[in-house]
Amino acid sequence: MGQGSSDHGTWNRNRSNNTLDQPGCALARKNHYVELVVDQGTSAPGGETAPGPPQDRLGRPLRSLRLSVTDRCNLRCRYCMPETDYQWLPRGELLDFDELSRLIDRFCEVGVSRVRVTGGEPLLRRGLSKLIERIAAKPPIRDVAMTTNGLLLRQQATALQEAGVARLTVSLDTLQPKRFEALTRRDALAEVLAGIRAASRAGFACESGPTAPGLARLKIDTVVMQGINEDELCPLLDFAAEVSAELRFIEYMDVGGATRWSADGVVTRAAILAAIEQQLGTPTPLPGRGAAPAERFALPDGRTFGVVASMTEPFCQACDRSRLTSDGFWYQCLYAQSGIDLKTPLRGGASDGELTALVDHCWRKRSDHGAEDRASLEKRDTLVPAAALRGNPHLEMHTRGG
């Protein structure tokens, strides 16, 4: 994770001179085409751009891109979308598949080899399998993954696997129908469970055990909340084993959209491990985490699971991820308050080389470590008030993807 605010700001059109103003990066229109002008303030000594794949100011490479294909969602989970009304991105502003594919190529040129398709709920985007086929066919891409709430998965699991999705993560916070409805405002647990089982049958089932690969093909993500579902850790582990998935427990995070968040609702990594140890034996940490958000553990019976402890043990120093919204804004941290507008130069005539140089340059300026900044606060409250979210949908978790 990265810093809660970005020093890049957003691209703003200057009507007086028809330029796009951005600290360190600027686009100027000349003779009906757009020329990229990069401020060399962060270049290598001598004014040259540093050779090789870019690293940010903390030495972190850019390897993973989380691609949000829609801000719409068909659930209203209380930790992500607890409000009644939302401001949606205008449909005309969403990038089409050609535009998304072109931007992914630019990210590949600076080192991205993994793409995770997110939302909102990505399966709401029409023709999504066609986009996935295009992403999976790109030679630099070694891994295509997707995060979904599973509601439409039963109908699409096989098509996703055939299109090239290698790994699938499904959000599931409870196995109790009434609790599911209270958490999501929809009576749809049976459909989600059917979707997970369909994914397992379609070829996403994964091996388990201490020697199994860290990149499990089928994962289940559970946000653990005090007084809500902390009593279901073991039943959820049992269900994950039943469908050959690896479960990841996630600390309740105070990201944009979590307007009802409070510190009292967080079940910590330590509490999760203690509860599991009491019932199933001592979990053993597994090596080889790398830049992955989850720390993995093995149980005495051989089952494995993960814990994402962004709240109590942030992993910003190893973060190699960034997020691209469905309307072309690039966020270098989940906590960032502003993003970099790639849509304007994309649609304004910038060449592939200019767009690549922009991505390269702005990543080299990155110094974000937002989860660590939040963890250091003496008093931790909601990140963004509901009123501010209504004025800027890009601050929403469901817009930039998790």
Q: Judging by beta carbons within 10 Å of its beta carbon (0-12, 13-18, 19+), is residue 26 exposed, middle or buried?
A: middle
Q: Judging by beta carbons within 10 Å of its beta carbon (0-12, 13-18, 19+), is residue 14 exposed, middle or buried?
A: exposed
CA atoms of 11 and 340, how far apart (whole Å): 7
> Do the Cβ atoms of 188 and 180 come closer than 8 Å?
yes
> Do the Cβ atoms of 50 and 42 come closer than 8 Å?
no
The DSSP code sequence of 175-235 is: S-HHHHHHHHSS--HHHHHHHHHHHIIIII----STTS-SS-SEEEEEEEBTTTTGGGHHH
Encoding tokens for residue 178?
């009434």
The runs of H, that is alpha helices, within 137-175 are: 153-163
pLDDT by residue (tens digit) across 293-335? 999 999 999 999 999 999 999 989 999 999 999 999 999 998 8
CA atoms of 133 and 137, how far apart (whole Å): 6
Q: What is the pLDDT of residue 49?
A: 52
Q: What is the pLDDT of residue 18?
A: 30
> Do the Cβ atoms of 213 and 305 come closer than 8 Å?
no
What's the distance, CA 204 to chain centroid? 20
Q: What is the pLDDT of residue 211?
A: 43
Q: What is the pLDDT of residue 52?
A: 67
For the domain covering 12-400, report its CATH number. 3.20.20.70
**How far are the Cα atoms of 77, 151, 175, 179, 183 from residue 186, in angstroms, in the given order?**
9, 10, 14, 10, 8
What is the pLDDT tens value at each position of the chain, 402 positions in all? 333 333 333 333 332 333 333 444 444 333 233 444 444 333 433 334 555 689 999 999 999 999 999 999 999 988 887 777 777 889 999 999 999 999 999 999 999 999 999 999 999 999 999 999 999 999 999 999 999 999 999 999 999 999 999 999 999 999 999 999 999 999 999 999 999 999 999 999 876 544 444 457 999 999 999 999 999 999 999 999 999 999 999 999 887 777 687 889 999 999 999 999 999 999 999 998 888 999 999 999 999 999 999 999 998 999 999 999 999 999 999 888 889 999 999 999 999 999 999 999 999 999 998 888 887 888 887 777 777 777 788 877 788 886
* Domains of the chain, residue spans: 12-400
Q: What is the pLDDT of residue 253?
A: 87
Q: What is the pLDDT of residue 356?
A: 97
Encoding tokens for residue 5?
């605010």
